[in-house]
């Protein structure tokens, strides 16, 4: 049993990829057979050169990983049978529908993405991003303008000619800033400002590296992961939490202004 709209799946017994809507192997068009005979051994070489590998994808629901072909456009989770989209999306105009795929997203310079939720494997942002973007791997930003939505990714690269203003905190593992960024950053890893980069905003990170020529202006908190959760709580709850703490616990120092 498979999802009614599924265009591809894998065999539960041998694990091989196949198309459930494709004709059986015995039904072949005569034109294809004649073409194959005319090409001779060269077609076999082309098949070897064009052979694609497999990759691991994780289910959106149960997070189980399984192997699929690189040529697959969709699949079903072997654990919970949830449908997983594997297509790549290229946005060249105004687009407002939600996207949830294990493929890549390319927002071109003429694109305008205003979806409330966009989940993908990796993304290249060259146009207007109004919605929230969540990537499993990396995001490359080559854009000049304002980004009102949230950005969350494992790694973010801000290209040299970029000049972006982020209204909400950018949550990443690591980030490389080669252009100009204005906004807050919360990183579980390192923040790197290259010699052509400029960062204006508050930063909470495990470490920060500023090359000669790089510019940073804002408040800096290094190695204080507790502030990542504390910044989401109201002031009253923070005061109550501090009151319940043991007297022997050290007081966290206030972040210093760094330029």
The model's pLDDT over 141-198, given as tens digits with 9 standing for 90+, comes to: 999 999 998 999 999 999 999 999 999 999 999 999 999 999 999 999 999 999 999 9
3-state secondary structure of 46: helix
Q: Is residue 39 classed as helix, strand or coil in its secondary structure?
A: helix
State both tokens at 226: 């507790």
Q: Buried b / exposed e across 125-134, counting CB within 10 Å, b at 16+?
A: bbbbbebbbb
Answer yes or no: are the C-beta atoms of 19 and 5 closer than 8 Å.
no
Q: State phi, psi for 124 to the nearest 5 degrees.
A: -120, 115
User: Which pLDDT band holds residue 246 (cuts at 50, 70, 90)?
Assistant: very low
pLDDT digits 0-9 by tens, 53-82? 888 888 988 988 888 888 888 898 988 988
Q: What is the model's pTM?
A: 0.66
Residue 244 reports pLDDT greater than 70: no
């Amino acid at each position: 049993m498979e999802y009614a709209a599924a265009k591809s799946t894998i065999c539960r017994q041998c694990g091989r990829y196949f198309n459930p809507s494709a004709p059986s192997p015995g039904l072949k068009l005569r034109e294809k057979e004649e073409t194959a005979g005319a090409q001779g051994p060269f077609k076999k070489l082309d098949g070897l050169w064009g052979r694609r590998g497999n990759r691991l994808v994780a289910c959106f629901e149960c997070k189980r990983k399984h192997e699929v072909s690189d040529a697959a456009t969709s699949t079903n989770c072997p654990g919970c049978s949830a449908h997983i989209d594997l297509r790549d999306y290229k946005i060249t105009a105004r687009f407002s529908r939600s996207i949830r795929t294990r493929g890549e997203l390319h927002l071109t310079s003429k694109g305008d993405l205003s979806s409330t939720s966009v989940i993908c494997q990796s993304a290249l942002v060259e146009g207007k991003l109004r919605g929230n973007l969540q990537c499993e791997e990396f995001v490359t930003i080559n854009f000049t303008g304002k980004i009102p939505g949230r950005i969350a990714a494992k790694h973010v690269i801000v290209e040299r000619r970029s000049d972006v203003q982020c209204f909400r905190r950018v949550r990443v593992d690591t980030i490389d800033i080669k252009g100009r960024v204005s906004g807050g950053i919360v990183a579980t890893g390192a923040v790197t400002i290259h010699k052509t980069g400029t960062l204006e905003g508050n930063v909470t990170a495990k470490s920060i590296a500023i090359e000669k020529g790089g510019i940073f202006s804002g408040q800096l908190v290094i190695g204080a992961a507790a502030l990542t959760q504390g910044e989401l709580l109201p002031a009253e709850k923070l005061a109550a939490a501090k009151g319940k703490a043991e007297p022997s616990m050290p007081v966290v120092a206030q972040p210093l202004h760094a330029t």
